[in-house]
Structure 1
Amino acid sequence: MAAVETKALNGVKLKKKEHRNAYATMMYMGTPRDYEFYVATRVLIKSLVKLQVDADLVVIASLDVPLRWVRALEEEDGAKVVRVENINPYTGQQKRFKLTLNKLYAWSLVDYERVVMLDADNLFLQKTDVLFQCGQFCAVFINPCIFHTGLFVLQPSQEVFKDMIHSLETGKENPDGADQGFIGAYFPDLLDQPIFHPPLNGSNLDGQYRLPLGYQMDASYYYLRLRWRVPCGPNSVITFPGALWLKPWYWWSWPVLPLGIEWHETRRQTVGYAAEMPVVIIQSIIFLGIIVMTHVARPAISKLYYKNSDKTTSMMQTAIKFIEIWSILAAYVVPFAIIPRTIHPLVGWGLYFLGSIALSSVAINSFMLPAIQVFVPLIGIFGSLLVMAYPWYNNGVVRALAVFGYAFCYAPVAWGSVVKLLARLHVSVEREQFFPKLTESSPPSGVNKLC
């Protein structure tokens, strides 16, 4: 059953209404990425504030959202926060979509004539107040059959809101157990409705709103077709639907998502990165310290890995090789896992390369591995970033072909490096260059010539 208070069914009341219309988004708790979506919500609100939109900015927040976050949204960002009970009648869906049906509260914002409901992964670059000229409901189709609930326009209605809650209570069919499936099922005939086609990119030079010939402004529903040109050209609003781990606020998502840098530029100019910078500074110091320590300790480390003719067992050799391989993998995985996720991409990638070099140096000096082969993956990653970030591609197809061509050329180099590295590991183990006698005074000649 939907967990909705009786008072919520009577409509959400705001402390003070300043405009006829509103841009709204939502926040709820209970996922591993609560902080990330909090940051994304603030950037979305700030992008609208920067454009001086003629509308209120509303955040529909569940009651468990921390008060310090609510105060930041209200006092620093100028949003109006509405606290609501969670709506969660379905069970078994992913945590990511557990409470997305809170989006239905947008229909209860009856103080407004129109509401543009937004997911946190939207970014506004130009004013889009023309959207408020929509009818009762407008949506953006992401394919010929399904519209996307990350951006839609609605006319608040207490009757519609109550009917939606009643549909949830009576078990209305929902393909995905979340807002996308429910709202799509609630408006099944939207594709057959008139097209709302606002001049978002300046194609109508007179700036006037137009509907297709034969349709009137009082039509109930519209198929909202936003004309975006991605990744180049003038954009009014950028939406980032897609894989969860490629949202624009993640430092690794750029340059995979070229327009993600626009999101970070907006954050840099508004919210900033003060929350993440102390961790970045500490990690940088640690990584630099590791590089210095391994360089200073290299002669002593190399001395420890030589002994006389004592034999090692086959099992011990296998264990040594296993440790060596995992130490190399850890050099590339550990920095990725510990760097703050929402830092600026340039800082994030720089810190990743620094951390990978630091941890790789430990593996190189501890197991006397060839540096070139160990660093080949890092060089490949750096090259792929340069190919993806190249700013003069004509379109996405050319960009994809360039990335594919780079991968095709790099694959033999990577494979050859892996083969040579494995061969070196095998030879080093067979030569029994491990488990030293600590009483040895000096290593064999040539020990200090490390690759």
Structure 2
Amino acid sequence: MAARLPPASERRLAAVLVLLLLVAVTAAAAAGERRGLSTRVEGPAARHRHAYAAMMYMGTPRDYEFYVAVRVMMRSLTRVRADADRVLIASADVPRDWVRAMTEEDGMRVVIVENLRNPYESNLGGINRRFKLTLNKLYAWTLVDYERVVMIDSDNIFLQNTDELFQCGQFCAVFINPCYFHTGLFVLQPSMDVFKGMLHDLDIGRENSDGADQGFLVGCYPDLLDKPIFHPPENGTKLNGTYRLPLGYQMDASYYYLKLHWHVPCGPNSVITFPSAPWFKPWYWWSWPILPLGLSWHKQRWDDLGYAAEIPVLLMEILMYIVIIAITRLARPGMTKLCYNRRPEKQNALVQSLIKMAAIVAMVAAYSIPFFVIPRTVHPIMGWSIYLFGALALSVLVINVFLLPPLDVLTTWLAVVSMLFVMAFPWYRDGIVRVLAIFGYAFCSAPFLWASLLRMMDSLQTMLERDPFFPRLGEPTQDTEFSKLY
């Protein structure tokens, strides 16, 4: 018979065991916190068995633009009458007012999460570092309140209802690349076991071809290319297993630019994706008419959200440009004259070269400054109008400061306006004809632009050599007929 411990020893042993258990639970909770397992939900409770989910994190130069894009994309689901919840997986540093707008105005459920550590961060170079936190997309597997989830990127627009995707299996995705599926839209069955397995793969450093979510998920489902195409059962039952989705569920915008209309025969033409360079996403005002689909995106935003946040900024810019034009018309152009001297020995080649360089820099600035001060997500028609007005105002300033011929300076402005009309012409037969027309216009306008530049430089050189019109600093300015021409 085993010897019984004294009561005091039993109590000490029980206390030690309880302490060890508490330490183990605390360590497990801390480990879960470190690995991003802690979440909280804001917004309405789950109302459907299925959900469309998107992701948002902070730390890129374009956080606000993606915030607007997520809202427009989610509103497009309402437009097509999607019968599912809208869920946003948001990092904890997303601004509170953004979260409030998405929950109260858009009806989203917002799941606040801690960022998952990306062990492949060193593989991301340069501009690709904006993908560092895309592994937060793995949190979609923690949405166990739902039977199926369609995970979507913010650069998608829905053209028609896609609720049949909830009949797909445990994982389904589209191959817009011949070899790798695209993670801009995929179907999944939430599972904490799958999520924990993926966290384990992150810990051991599973192979990742691009250092972001797509390379990781391709490694998790390497045989998806060999799987059958998804066809929704007519009786509404859910399939099991993995499937490839038809191309119509992720129509790359480049398909449109070839024909200038949609022609994707594989599956329903349901979802447009814009996996283009960051500066040509459809929500930027300059994307139209360079890329015609930008206007379609902004039409949806106009109908759903409007542009109230950008209007005050645009009005301030308009007022600023009006003031610039008024000042340049009223003030005498004396700034340039301070650089000159009537004595020929002081008018050396270096000074002339510096003045010419200043004129060129000023003309470039006149066309570039308005581009960068306009709110990026404003409607293209408003954006281009303000840009052209701003470039005109600053060009007038350059004309008056450097006493340049107005028509030659404004040749570039007229060329930009004409180019916009050429690109926006709505009756091109296809994208190839449109590209040829744009190249033809550029080819024909290049000699005029070059000739205007040469005339401006000649005019400036003539000004520099006409000493009587440029007194030394401190001397009275002569009133001449020449100075009144402007």
Distance 1:385 1:258 in 2: 11
- Contiguous gaps of at least 5 residues in structure 1: 199-207, 211-215
| 2:97 maps to which of 46, 64, 68 | 68
Q: Which has the higher contact order (CA 8 A, sep 6+)?
A: 1
Distance 1:81-1:44 versus aligned 2 partners, 3 A rule: same
2:158 alignment partner in structure 1: 124
1:362 and 2:397 equivalent? yes
1:260 alignment partner in structure 2: 294
Alignment RMSD (CA, Å) = 2.7
1:213 alignment partner in structure 2: none
User: Displacement, 1:61?
Assistant: 0.4
CA contact (8 A) 2:285 2:384 kept: yes
Question: What SS does structure 2 have at the residue aligned with 1:5?
Answer: helix
Distance 1:378-1:147 versus aligned 2 partners, 3 A rule: farther
2:484 alignment partner in structure 1: 448
1:40 alignment partner in structure 2: 69
In terms of mean alpha carbon deviation, does 428-437 or 166-175 score higher? 428-437
User: Displacement, 1:308?
Assistant: 3.8
CA contact (8 A) 1:303 1:443 kept: no
| 1:350 maps to which of 360, 382, 385 | 385
User: Displacement, 1:325?
Assistant: 0.9
User: Displacement, 1:163?
Assistant: 1.3
2:33 alignment partner in structure 1: 5
| 1:115 maps to which of 123, 145, 149 | 149
User: Displacement, 1:334?
Assistant: 0.5
In terms of mean alpha carbon deviation, does 159-168 or 243-252 score higher? 159-168
Count of aligned positions: 435
Distance 2:231 2:286 in 1: 35
1:103 and 2:137 equivalent? yes
Distance 1:31-1:4 versus aligned 2 partners, 3 A rule: farther
CA contact (8 A) 2:37 2:114 kept: no
User: Displacement, 1:13?
Assistant: 7.0
CA contact (8 A) 1:11 1:108 kept: no
CA contact (8 A) 1:104 1:161 kept: yes
Distance 2:207 2:81 in 1: 40
Alignment of 1:46-445 (within 5 A): 46-90=75-119, 91-92=121-122, 93=124, 94-196=128-230, 218=239, 220-227=241-248, 228=251, 230=256, 231-233=260-262, 235-298=269-332, 308-309=342-343, 311-432=346-467, 434=470, 436-445=472-481
Distance 1:161 1:240 in 2: 28
Question: What SS does structure 1 have at the residue aligned with 2:290?
Answer: coil
User: Displacement, 1:158?
Assistant: 1.8
Question: What SS does structure 2 have at the residue aligned with 1:196?
Answer: coil
- Paired AA for residue 423 in structure 2: M
Distance 1:435-1:105 versus aligned 2 partners, 3 A rule: farther
CA contact (8 A) 2:65 2:283 kept: yes
In terms of mean alpha carbon deviation, does 152-161 or 338-347 score higher? 152-161
In terms of mean alpha carbon deviation, does 242-251 or 294-303 score higher? 294-303
User: Displacement, 1:408?
Assistant: 2.1
Select the structure that is richer in helix. Answer: 2
User: Displacement, 1:161?
Assistant: 1.2
In terms of mean alpha carbon deviation, does 123-132 or 427-436 score higher? 427-436
Question: What SS does structure 2 have at the residue aligned with 1:356?
Answer: helix
Percentage identity across paired residues of the two chains: 53
Distance 2:78 2:169 in 1: 25
Question: What SS does structure 1 have at the residue aligned with 2:320?
Answer: helix
- Contiguous gaps of at least 5 residues in structure 2: 1-30, 264-268
CA contact (8 A) 1:21 1:56 kept: yes
User: Displacement, 1:335?
Assistant: 0.5
What do residues 394-451 of structure 1 show as CA deviations (whole Å, max 9, x unaligned)? 322222222222222222222222233233333333445656444334244323224x
- Paired AA for residue 482 in structure 2: G
CA contact (8 A) 2:148 2:188 kept: yes
Distance 2:333 2:370 in 1: 26
- Paired AA for residue 48 in structure 1: L
